[in-house]
Structure 1
Amino acid sequence: MLQHSPLTSSQPVSLWTCQKDALAFQFHQEFPRLFPTQRRFSGTFKTTSLLLLLLSPSYPIAVASVACGLFWLVLRPRWQQSQPFARGWYEHRLDANPTALDVYAQHESSIRIVDSLYDLFLPSKNKDSVVALVFLPGALVDARAYAGVCHKLRQEGNNLAVILLQTDRYRRLMSPFFGLNEHALRDVMKHATNELAQANCSVRNWALGGHSLGGLTAQELLPKMPEISQLVLWGVNYPRATPISPTVTELVVTASQDGFRFSDPPPSTPEIQRYEIKGGNHGGFGDYPHQTYPRPDGTRTISLTEQHEQVARVTAQFLLS
């Protein structure tokens, strides 16, 4: 059976309990029945405000009524603009393919599932010191879609552990705006250190990485986390010519058929190593259905196994160099 490590009250809480969730996103998903009633709600709201204003002799109530009406006039355009985004986000979530889910059944002894926080892929050989990579999944994607490539990654490096952060059932953005910050990451790192110690492993070096929006989030959090010495970016197509930090080395892995690729990356530098997977696409960094939102992904011309082997090999070489 898979090894479950329940959290106690002294251990980190879920990364997504932060109350800064996007209002429209959560509201539209929890109450989809309100979609067809928006106009009726708007008319009722304005009518009620007008009646309160005309019929009430109380000055405070009249002022409050006017204020509510003005507030709705400001809020309504934003409400209307948020509907396509919220619906698109909800309808285009990407589940893991069965082949990715099979990894859990095939390699039970090498994976520890820590509640809803993360999956820990233990080193293929227990070492006194390991490199630990905290990996952030892309937007809309079930984190389990990366199980196959994470397993290959731990196989490529004998003393490499991967901490794959989980998403909730809404596949919420891996972004500080949605509750993921440096404090939450440090809690996860602390808890993962204890989990690795139970497997006779100690962490000598921490790395942070991610795919797509997860990689962009890793970039944003990196300056706030001096304990991170390496950054790994998969399918992040916003090239930078200069490193984020002079003390951090970076690996940027791109794919030639990536539908989210907007420009060719600049050449490698001593601080930023770059690698392109010929024939790979955006979704090939994980294992999930073809992505069509917010734009179509390219068509992969190599096998998924080949793309996973390439990205795992170059990432392991970078982390253990």
Structure 2
Amino acid sequence: MTSIRTVRRWAIRVVAGVLALCVLAVLGLVIRAKSGVMHAESEAWESVLTDPTITVEEHADAVVLHPAEETTTSIGLVFYPGAKVDAAAYARRLSGIVAEGSATVVIVKPWLRLAIVDPRGLSVFTDYSPGTESWMVGGHSMGGVRACSAAGEADALVLFGSYCAADLSDDPIPVLSLSGSEDGLSTPQKVTDAREKLPDSARMVEIPGANHASFGDYGAQKGDGSPRIGDDQMNSTVTAELLDFAEGVRSE
């Protein structure tokens, strides 16, 4: 007959084994998150830092862009980066809505550089601009998937080269989806297949010549298509779409 002492010994071994596996899993995530990081291109980042129309704040958990001449803004965007991509890599693409649209942009620095595992609520980031009236949430690639899960906390949703895992088809939230014709990761077919998870009113825009990495300034990405659009054209296209979309969100 098995003694109580033997049962306890085996129970301790099982618990110790489970804990060891958990520690190894966490260590694996940390190591994976630190490898293959796609850093912001210095020239693009510097162009935002030196833009006299924009004030840049760097925090431990976010990069915040404010219009230089305004203390409060009527609309803001909390933006989640793609997996392993620096927050600063999206600053130039999103700077137009700040400079031309008087919006506040908060680019999240996710836990482990993986937005999908970051459970923090939107208020952690909207608190950087407490006077802002309306908030959009958005993201690129995996960051867009995370943005979809936070859509219930926002007034609008913006997707860059991404699509939702959650079903928002019955949600009246305004949605802007920007994709690229040359995207080799969030391919046009994948975006089309996931269209049914967005509201019927969602604005779907495929940018000719854009690939997955065209939505940021972090260099080429493995598995991606070849871009046929330059940075200046990409910046102006993204800015124009965001300005038009934000104006509609403001008016609601």
- Whether 1:234 and 2:164 are equivalent positions in the alignment is no
Superposition pairs for residues 1-321 of structure 1, below 5 Å?
Answer: 60=5, 62-70=6-14, 88-107=32-51, 110-123=54-67, 126=70, 130-157=74-101, 159-167=102-110, 170-171=112-113, 173-175=114-116, 177-180=117-120, 182=121, 185-193=122-130, 202-223=131-152, 225=153, 228-238=154-164, 243=169, 245-246=171-172, 248-262=173-187, 263=189, 264-265=191-192, 266=195, 271-292=201-222, 296-321=223-248
Q: Is the Cα contact below 8 Å between 1:243 and 1:250 reproduced in 2?
A: no
1:245–1:142: structure 2 CA closer, same or farther, 3 Å change rule? same
1:282–1:317: structure 2 CA closer, same or farther, 3 Å change rule? same
1:77–1:116: structure 2 CA closer, same or farther, 3 Å change rule? closer
1:69–1:108: structure 2 CA closer, same or farther, 3 Å change rule? farther
The structure with more radius of gyration: 1
**Superposition CA RMSD, Å:** 3.3
**What TM-score do you get using the length of structure 1 for normalisation?**
0.64
C-alpha deviation, 1:275, in angstroms: 0.5
Could you give the per-residue CA deviations for residues 108-142 of structure 1, whole angstroms, max 9, x where no partner exists?
66223153132222236538752111111111111
Could you give the per-residue CA deviations for residues 216-253 of structure 1, whole angstroms, max 9, x where no partner exists?
11111222x2xx2211111114588963522x111011
How many corresponding residue pairs? Answer: 241
Q: Is the Cα contact below 8 Å between 2:144 and 2:164 reproduced in 1?
A: no
**What TM-score do you get using the length of structure 2 for normalisation?**
0.79
Aligned-residue identity in percent = 24
C-alpha deviation, 1:74, in angstroms: 6.8
Mapped to 1, the partners of 2:124 and 2:48 lie a distance apart of: 24
C-alpha deviation, 1:179, in angstroms: 3.3
Could you give the per-residue CA deviations for residues 72-117 of structure 1, whole angstroms, max 9, x where no partner exists?
7778888999998765543221111112321343126622315313
C-alpha deviation, 1:273, in angstroms: 0.6
Match of 1:55 in 2: none
1:81–1:189: structure 2 CA closer, same or farther, 3 Å change rule? closer
Q: Is the Cα contact below 8 Å between 1:219 and 1:244 reproduced in 2?
A: no
Mapped to 2, the partners of 1:87 and 1:117 lie a distance apart of: 19
Q: Is the Cα contact below 8 Å between 1:156 and 1:313 reproduced in 2?
A: no
SS at match of 1:146: helix
Could you give the per-residue CA deviations for residues 42-89 of structure 1, whole angstroms, max 9, x where no partner exists?
xxxxxxxxxxxxxxxx953x4343234445777888899999876554
**Structure 1: runs of 5 or more not aligned:** 1-57, 194-201
Q: Which moved more, 1:268-277 or 1:232-241?
A: 232-241
C-alpha deviation, 1:313, in angstroms: 1.3
Match of 1:53 in 2: none
Q: Is the Cα contact below 8 Å between 1:243 and 1:271 reproduced in 2?
A: no
**Structure 2: runs of 5 or more not aligned:** none
Mapped to 2, the partners of 1:91 and 1:190 lie a distance apart of: 31
Could you give the per-residue CA deviations for residues 160-215 of structure 1, whole angstroms, max 9, x where no partner exists?
221222246x42x113x4332x2xx213313322xxxxxxxx42322111111111
Q: Specify the code of the residue in structure 2 equivalent to 1:249.
A: P
Q: Is the Cα contact below 8 Å between 1:131 and 1:320 reproduced in 2?
A: no
